[in-house]
Amino acid sequence: MASHNRIPMIAGNWKMHLVSKEAADLAAAIKKGLDPALKHEVLLAPTFTNLHAVHAALAGSRVILSSQDVAWEEKGAFTGAVSPSQVKDAGCTHAIIGHSERRKIFLETDAVVNLKVKAAIKNGIVPVLCIGETLEERESGRTFKVLETQLNGAFAGITAAEASKAVIAYEPVWAIGTGKTATPAQAQEAHLFVRGQMEKIYGKAWAEAVRVLYGGSVKAENVDELMAQPDIDGALVGGESLKADKFLRVIHYQAAPVK
C-alpha cells in the first residue's frame, strides 16, 4: 500500500441532461444523502445553463461545482463559448476539460485542450483533465502512446506549481456510456502509466500527489473494486450520476477511503 495521502474525488458529469429544476432537485437529493462524516471530495458538473440553479441547491454543502468545459479566451466575439470568469461567476471552482466527447464530436485537439487548461489555471479554476484511448487505439497496442501524447499536450508550457491542483481523469473511450467498464486490472495499469508519465513531466512528488480518477461506466456495482486499486483515486461518473440513489452509493463506495 502506497504511502501517499490522496483525497479521493467522486465526480458526476451530467452531460447534456436535465433542465434547471431537475438538476437542482438532483443536486439537493445528493446533498441530502451525503454522509456528513465523508472526507473525500464530491463534484457535480451540470450543463452551463443549470449552473446557477445547482449552485443555489448546493448552498451550505461542501459539494464542488464544476463546468463541463470552458473557453480559453477571456471575453469577446466567441459565439457559443463560456469564459473562465463566467463559469466562476456561476459558482464553479473546477472545469472538466478535454472530455472525449469534446475531442471526438467537437474536434478538440490537444492544442485546444492545452489552451483551456492554461486559461482555467490562470483564472484559479481547477482543471479536471480527461484523457483516454479509443477501442481501435487499444486494440492496436497504442494505449500508452495516446495517453503520453495527451498528457504532454495538455500540460505543455505549464509549470508544476501552476498545475499543482489539477485532477486527471483516465476514461477509456470504449468504456464511456457503453456499459463496458475497464477491468480493475486494466484501469490500474493505465493509472500507473499516467502517474509515471506525470512523474516524467513534473517529478515524483507531483505525480504521487495528483488524483487520477477512472471514468467509463462506473456504477454502484463496480465502484468498490475499482476504488480498491492503489492508483485509482476517484471516479468520473456519467449515466450513473443522474440517479441520486445510485450515485450516492458510488460516492459512499466501500473501499478504504484513504489508501
Based on CB atoms, which residue is closest to ligand PGA, 11 or 202? 11
Based on CB atoms, which residue is closest to ligand PGA, 170 or 202? 170
Size of the site for ligand PGA (CB under 6 A): 13
Location of C-alpha cell 476539460: 97
> Is residue 217 a contact residue for ligand PGA (CB under 6 A)?
yes
Quote the radius of gyration of the chain (alpha carbons, Å): 17
Q: How far is the CB of 2 from ligand PGA (least distance, A)?
A: 25
171 is catalytic: yes
- The cell for 67 is 463546468
> Is residue 127 a contact residue for ligand PGA (CB under 6 A)?
no
Q: Which of 51, 126, 176, 182 binds ligand PGA (CB under 6 A)?
A: 176
Strand partners, 170: 131, 214
> Is residue 13 a contact residue for ligand PGA (CB under 6 A)?
yes
d(CA 124, CA 8): 21
Query: Which is the catalytic residue, given 99, 101, 133, 148?
Result: 99
> Is residue 26 a contact residue for ligand PGA (CB under 6 A)?
no
> Is residue 98 a contact residue for ligand PGA (CB under 6 A)?
no
Q: Are 231 and 191 in contact (CB under 8 A)?
A: yes
- Write phi, then psi, for 131 (nearest 5 degrees): -140, 165
Q: In 10 A of CB 47, how many CB atoms?
A: 17
- The cell for 55 is 449552485
> Is residue 238 a contact residue for ligand PGA (CB under 6 A)?
yes
3-state helix, strand, coil in the chain (%, to 5): 45, 15, 45
Q: Are 116 and 127 in contact (CB under 8 A)?
A: yes
- Write phi, then psi, for 91 (nearest 5 degrees): 105, 5
101 is catalytic: no
Segment near ligand PGA (CB under 6 A); pick from 110-118, 119-127, 158-166, 209-217 = 209-217
- The cell for 252 is 459512499
Based on CB atoms, which residue is closest to ligand PGA, 132 or 202? 132
Q: Which of 46, 84, 234, 239 binds ligand PGA (CB under 6 A)?
A: 239
Residues at the site binding ligand PGA, with contacts judged by CB under 6 A? 13, 171, 176-177, 215-218, 236-240
